[in-house]
Structure 1
């Protein structure tokens, strides 16, 4: 389960064109402990948030 969830998140980052650093890898490993259904919900929320940010022009921008 953990390995599958790591793959889901790693692929999601790649799909969205987001490079991840060592701190992100630690976060991915923490999230990877979730059950698969919860992990899928988290991934979908991340996709939606990223898409919303792109639509508003705020993805990758500085605050």
Structure 2
């Protein structure tokens, strides 16, 4: 996970192919993965919220 966070080698398309979980932008994917990392290995007490099925405002504009 550290490698993935450091290299940012997966795109949202790659992630969807692997997991069938949709993120609308790479920055949203990596923010979620960082939060997940902090939950597993850091001091975050709550797991991150799953991504929203609705695209964020301005998506695709």
Q: Where is the helix percentage greater, Structure 1 or Structure 2?
A: 1
TM-score calculated relative to the size of structure 1 = 0.29
- Specify which structure has the bigger relative contact order, considering alpha-carbon pairs within 8 angstroms and separated by 6 or more residues: 1
